[in-house]
Chain A
Amino acid sequence: MTDLYATQRAMRNMRKAAMQRGVIAILDVGTSKTACLVLRFDGPEKFTGEDGVGSLAGQSSFRVIGAATTRSRGVRFGEIDAMNETERAIRTAVQAAQKMANQRVDHVIVGFSGARIRSYGLAGSIDLQDSVVREQDVARVLAACDVPDYGDGRGVLHAQPVNFALDHRSGLSDPRGQIGNRLSVDMHLLTVEDSAIHNLLRCIKRCDLEVAGLASSAYTAGVSTLVEDEQELGAACIDLGGGTTGLSIFMKKHMIYADSVRLGGEHVTADISKGLQVPMAVAERIKTFHGGVFATGVDDRDMIEIGGDTGDWEHDRRTVSRAELIGIMRPRVEEILEEVRLRLDAAGFEHLPCQQIVLTGGGSQIPGLDGLASRILGNSVRLGRPLRVQGLPQAATGAAFSAAVGLSLFAAHPQDEWWDFEIPAERYPARSLKRAVKWFKDNW
């Protein structure tokens, strides 16, 4: 675990270096597309707002100067399947984005959807030595969290303190300097499969890029699509991606739960391909042009040319009605939403004060999806598009880019994570000079 923290700290330093240089790239490696955005930061981050977030929700400090997408290859369920192919896709996207930005980028923040994310709620508490909460006390209470056994071959991706409580007062966002006897913390821990991360990191290293941060796209999609009051009062963001469907629950501006369903738009395409006996590319095209989930009477007469190039006239002239297409698509979409429902139930979503559900991702563009989703998931469902970011091309403002846009917000204003806090003095090895310095600092 300390090993992973070391890499996370190294990434934070890398991010700092990138901020100084002013240019950072965002790479969203998805199952169906790889997107790269190049961000330019205008000077150091300044906290201008009086309280809460500043103007434009703090997004005015950066600007998108390059954007490119390409079809992902060698990625299945958001995990790397064929590394060379993925590397090529990343190279294509990065090169095109660099060309548009006319600037070289060396630091990249990576988002990915797969790797079987699993979230844990942690709690820890300590008695304060003196009655005032200091930085060291925060570090100690974070260290006092009892980490669950999340299994071999898994690593921590996000570890965010969600809530601090001091004696009987809960819901503190920053306990430092306050007076109390017992400090406790709730933390949200997100673990992923190590091997998937390592593959991804290796892939990016082979593109001569330095990783300045890692984030789960379930989380970043929520960051970019949920508006402020939804994040505050509680909402779930469902990112219907190509290979996986990410799901993240936000409350009090913190992610409190995230999960992913290993089903996505590509399964719908595969169903169409199998059902109509057409290639995947044609199936994808039919899905995007004619797809839907609610059949009406007129759909029986809406005939879709399927095409084909076998040379057999009968085979090449096949048509299918839109109702049939919907009949193929709907069960799969329903299955995905049912799965999401199960995960939400498992997370205790129904206990939240506000149960807003936001659908985003490329899959959310299926016509009529919101109606179907409200039947399965609950009443308050809306379709979400990512926040508007300065300089983002029109083509990249759609729902499919919510994870990428969220990543750029994440790059600009990362959430405080465990590794951003001080290391408790006890954690330093004994006889270490640092520990001595720390002891002096704390006691004088």
Chain B
Amino acid sequence: MRPLRAKRPARRLRRDPAPSRLSYRLHRLWLTPLIRRMLRIGLPILLVGVSAGYYLSDETRREAIQAWLVEQRQAFEARPEFMVKLMAIDGASTELATDIREVVPLDFPLSSFDMDLEAIQKTVSALDAVASATVRIRSGGVLQVSVVERIPAVVWRGREDIELLDETGHRVASVIARAIRPDLPLITGDGAETAVPEALNILAAAKPINNRIRGLVRMGERRWDLVLDRNQRILLPEENPVAALERVLTLDKTQDMLSRDLVVVDMRNQMRPTLRLAKTAMQDLREIRTREERIDNQ
């Protein structure tokens, strides 16, 4: 039997296509630019903000996030490409290298994020024997320390100890005895270390009598005495010591002055160079003179 119920059309047409007044108003509201922007931008931002605020309002969650962040950071820093495995020192003698290794106590391997290169550079530069230092991390995980060493120019005998100084007067190292560096000239006296360049000039000028020089003595922290062997001294003036020394050397050259029995050549007064003979020299001279007169009289 055929079903009595009529077959319904699949989709019934809506009788009224008109929007209800509510939907009409909502549509107009939605098309209002301000409302639309608020709903499309403001509302999501608000929602995200509120939910984030709610989530972060709990202390334990905040800590967890913090811990997670720290852990992530550490994991990142500990990656093999950031690990420094050894320190290479260039331009330093072995003693200086050991010194540098001492003052920069790093136990490798170490992440490059944990290193303070500037501090390392400062520490290394602070060493007396180091003129300048550059520190960088080379590819392959090498901490490269390039050092320019100070070259000792003089030996300075101070009141307490003996030290090596470079040409600017900066301390390089201590030595136990002067004999350790016989090749370097010796300076001494109070304030000698502050006038090293002048001393070096004087020593350079005194090259012709180099083999006789014992050292330079700073007198009264203002002028130099050049001390030769046989306890001879050349007292140099405060100003123009090199010129005065050259005068002395000229005299020495022409009259063989320094090989005579002198104790002091006093050049402090430029106008009046003074010689002091040794105690016995005058007697010897007189004896020689009388002997010569006798010979002449005979």
A interface residues (Cβ-Cβ under 8 A, vs B)? 70, 88-89, 91-92, 94-95, 98-99, 102-104, 207-208
Contact = CB atoms under 8 A, between A and B. Distances in A.
27 contacts: A70-B17, A70-B18, A88-B16, A88-B18, A89-B18, A91-B18, A91-B21, A92-B17, A92-B18, A92-B19, A94-B24, A95-B19, A95-B24, A95-B27, A95-B28, A98-B27, A98-B28, A98-B31, A99-B27, A103-B31, A104-B28, A104-B31, A104-B32, A207-B24, A208-B24, A208-B25, A208-B28
Contacts of A104: 28, 31-33
B173 to A, nearest CB: 85
Contacts of A94: 24
A91 B22 CA distance: 11
Contacts of A98: 27-28, 31
Contacts of A208: 24-25, 28
Nearest to A102: B31
B156 to A, nearest CB: 89
B132 to A, nearest CB: 70
Interface of B: 16-19, 21, 24-25, 27-28, 31-33
A103 B28 CA distance: 8
B111 to A, nearest CB: 56
Contacts of B17: 70, 92
Nearest to B28: A104
Contacts of A95: 19, 24, 27-28
Contacts of A103: 31
B24 A91 contact: yes
Contacts of B18: 70, 88-89, 91-92
A89 B18 CA distance: 6
B254 to A, nearest CB: 107
A224 B25 CA distance: 32
Contacts of B28: 95, 98, 104, 208
A321 B3 CA distance: 39
B40 to A, nearest CB: 13
Nearest to A88: B18
Q: Which of A70, A95, A103 gathers the greatest number of chain B CB atoms within 10 Å?
A: A95
Given A88-B18, A102-B31, 7 more contacts: A88-B16, A91-B24, A92-B18, A95-B28, A104-B28, A104-B32, A104-B33
Q: Which of A70, A91, A102, A103 gathers the greatest number of chain B CB atoms within 10 Å?
A: A91
A96 to B, nearest CB: 9
Contacts of B25: 208
A210 to B, nearest CB: 13
Nearest to A99: B27
Contacts of A70: 17-18
Contacts of A207: 24
Nearest to A90: B18
Contacts of B19: 91-92, 95
Contacts of B33: 104
A431 to B, nearest CB: 45
A70 B18 CA distance: 9
A92 B18 CA distance: 5
A207 B32 CA distance: 16
A357 to B, nearest CB: 37
A104 B26 CA distance: 11
A102 B25 CA distance: 15
Contacts of B21: 91
Contacts of B16: 88
| A-B complex: 10 closest residue pairs judged by Cβ atoms | A88-B18, A104-B31, A92-B18, A91-B24, A95-B19, A104-B28, A104-B32, A91-B18, A95-B27, A95-B24
Q: Which of A99, A102, A104, A207 gathers the greatest number of chain B CB atoms within 10 Å?
A: A104
Nearest to B23: A95
